[in-house]
Amino acid sequence: MFKIVRKEVLNPSVKLMEIEAPYVAKKAQPGQFIIFRIDDAGERIPLTIADYDREKGTVTIIFQEVGKSTKRLGAMEAGDSILDFVGPLGVASHFDGLKKVAVIGGGLGTAIAYPQAKHLHSMGVEVDSIVGFRNKELIILEKEMAAASSRLFIATDDGSNGNKGFVTDILKRLIEDGNKYDMVIAIGPLIMMKVVSNLTKQYGIKTIVSMNPVMIDGTGMCGGCRVTVGGKTKFACVDGPDFDGHEVDFDEAMRRQSMYKSEEKISNEKHEC
């Protein structure tokens, strides 16, 4: 069993949990993920590793309560335990030779962008972080992202934080102001990653996106997490989750993401009864 040692509410539907998992903490790298299962009857849910502490033997996850399992997890408290916490899975991100990078986080994607920004910042890379939320109540990890960045820009769709717009507006402005990025890392909803990738393609800036499709085994055997990249089938769990944003077939990924919407709705309704 894996014990929850800390729980923090980041916004009304987003929670942070620090889980006691020394073997995962020992090997974890930025960009990797875990798959958890609450109990025998639970579904397997992938979550990106938001942080890790090798000394304490803990791994931090940040999740949004969107379905039955994440709602059940969100209702648990420090001191409770979950059955499975498998990882680290996936290929770690590689950032050698970079001098200046823009890290983009959309909504909950900020939780995945944070360890990337932190790692790059600790390597001495100049990091401009650009994060976007629907409104100011939903902003998460502002303090942490500020500490992990050279500059932090926060946009809201409704302008409630005084900075109305989308992450792409800010990125475009920064590029046109003469900032020369060696790489853009974009993590968030598929549509956001698609729009960022389309923008950076025009400027010839290498762009990495983090794909988060439905996953089952997490070891490359079920095919559930397949994505098309550069015309080839890849498995996000073993080939990713990071891929070249200019090569990803986002339209197909969006179609696949909506495939289980009706089953998810039924499961959610049963959970709420």
Smallest gap from residue 148 Cβ to ligand FES (A): 29
- The DSSP-derived string for 205-248 is --EEEE-----SSSSSSS-TTEEEETTEEEEHHHH-SEEETTTB
Q: Which of 91, 92, 174, 222 binds ligand FES (CB under 6 A)?
A: 222
215 binds ligand FES (CB under 6 A): yes
223 binds ligand FES (CB under 6 A): yes
- The three state secondary structure string of 136-151 is HHHCCCHHHHHHCCCE
216 binds ligand FES (CB under 6 A): yes
Size of the site for ligand FES (CB under 6 A): 12
Considering only the stretches 70-78, 98-106, 122-130, 212-220, report the one whose residues sit in contact with ligand FES under the rule CB under 6 A: 212-220
- According to the annotation, is 63 in a ligand binding site? yes
Per-residue CA distances from 59 to 8, 28, 48, 72 (Å) = 14, 8, 10, 19
Q: Which of 217, 247, 249, 264 binds ligand FES (CB under 6 A)?
A: 217
Per-residue CA distances from 91 to 17, 240, 264 (Å) = 23, 6, 28
Considering only the stretches 61-69, 170-178, 203-211, 213-221, report the one whose residues sit in contact with ligand FES under the rule CB under 6 A: 213-221
Q: Are 58 and 28 in contact (CB under 8 A)?
A: no
Name the residue nearer to ligand FES (CB basis): 74 or 220. 220
91 binds ligand FES (CB under 6 A): no
Name the residue nearer to ligand FES (CB basis): 131 or 215. 215
**Residue type (1 letter), 198:** N
Tell me how far apart the terminal alpha carbons of the chain are, to the nearest angstrom: 28
Q: Which residues contact 243 (CB under 8 A, 6 or more apart)?
A: 208, 209, 211, 227, 229, 234, 236
Name the residue nearer to ligand FES (CB basis): 82 or 215. 215
- According to the annotation, is 273 in a ligand binding site? no
Q: Are 234 and 240 in contact (CB under 8 A)?
A: yes
Q: Which residues contact 171 (CB under 8 A, 6 or more apart)?
A: 102, 104, 130, 184, 196, 199, 200
Name the residue nearer to ligand FES (CB basis): 35 or 175. 35
Name the residue nearer to ligand FES (CB basis): 223 or 230. 223
- According to the annotation, is 225 in a ligand binding site? yes
Annotated binding site: 62-64, 222, 225, 237
Annotated binding site for [2Fe-2S] cluster: 222, 225, 237
Q: Where do contacts with ligand FES occur on this chain (CB under 6 A)?
A: 215-218, 220-225, 235, 237
